[in-house]
């Protein structure tokens, strides 16, 4: 029973990480080029496009699920040292990504999209956008690393189960 639970949670964490990786690539290559191409006018167009749902409605719950499934997978793989450290490394990456979002990107989102040009100069908004995109590169790298780590952890756990 424990092995089925372990396999379920490590697979779930892998699945969620891969969804997050695909979503962050979608943001990087489709959404953000449209939002940041003509500041501040493109901010308004971006806000109109994301009137119903946007990254702020998608990523926080998914990030929470990733942390939750990763934490449970880490507990369940604790007795499998070949998988445990990979699962923990994946968790570390998603926590770093989330911390970067909360500490650096969320305040800049407020500046760019809530306060906007009515409060800030266009030059300040462009600087804020550049800072946002710089932190976004860090988030993408964390997500890539976290996805690789959980994939290796999944393979190591599966390999260990096959040997038993």
Q: Say whether pLDDT at 164 is over 70.
A: no
Average pLDDT, the chain: 91
C-beta separation of 77 from 153 below 8 A: yes
Tokens at 40, concatenated: 């501040």
* Residue labelled with tokens 């119903």: 52
Instruction: Find how far residue 122's CA is from the centre of its chain.
Output: 28
Instruction: Specify the pLDDT at position 65.
Output: 93
43 versus 141: the higher-pLDDT residue is: 141
pLDDT reading at 2 higher than 70: yes
Predicted confidence at residue 47, as pLDDT, reads: 79
Range of the domain at 110: 2-48+55-163
Say what the pLDDT of residue 25 is: 96
Number of domains forming the structure of the chain: 1
At 51, is the pLDDT very low, low, confident or very high (cuts 50, 70, 90)?
A: confident
Q: Which of 117, 134, 142 is nearest to 59 (CA)?
A: 142
The answer to whether residue 50 scores a pLDDT higher than 80 is no
Give pLDDT tens digits for 115-159.
888 889 999 999 999 999 999 999 999 999 999 999 999 999 998
Threshold 0.75, pTM exceeds = yes
Summarised one tens digit per residue, pLDDT across range 83-114 is 999 999 999 999 999 999 999 999 998 898 88
**For residues 77 and 85, is the Cβ–Cβ distance under 8 A?**
no
pLDDT tens-digit profile of 53-67? 777 788 889 989 999
């Amino acid at each position: 029973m424990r092995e089925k639970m372990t396999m379920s949670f490590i697979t779930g964490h892998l699945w969620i990480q891969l969804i997050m990786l695909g979503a962050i690539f979608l943001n990087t290559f489709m959404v953000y080029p449209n939002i940041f191409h003509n500041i501040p006018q493109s901010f308004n167009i971006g806000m109109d496009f994301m009137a119903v749902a946007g990254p702020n409605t998608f990523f926080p719950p998914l990030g929470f699920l990733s942390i939750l499934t990763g934490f449970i997978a880490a507990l369940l793989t604790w007795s499998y040292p070949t998988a445990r450290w990979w699962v923990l490394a994946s968790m570390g990456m998603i926590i770093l990504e989330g911390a970067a979002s909360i500490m650096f990107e969320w305040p800049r989102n407020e500046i760019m999209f809530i306060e906007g040009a009515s409060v800030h100069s266009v030059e300040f908004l462009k600087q804020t956008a550049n800072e946002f995109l710089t932190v976004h590169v860090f988030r993408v790298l964390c997500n890539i690393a976290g996805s690789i780590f959980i994939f290796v952890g999944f393979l190591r756990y599966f390999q260990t189960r096959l040997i038993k």
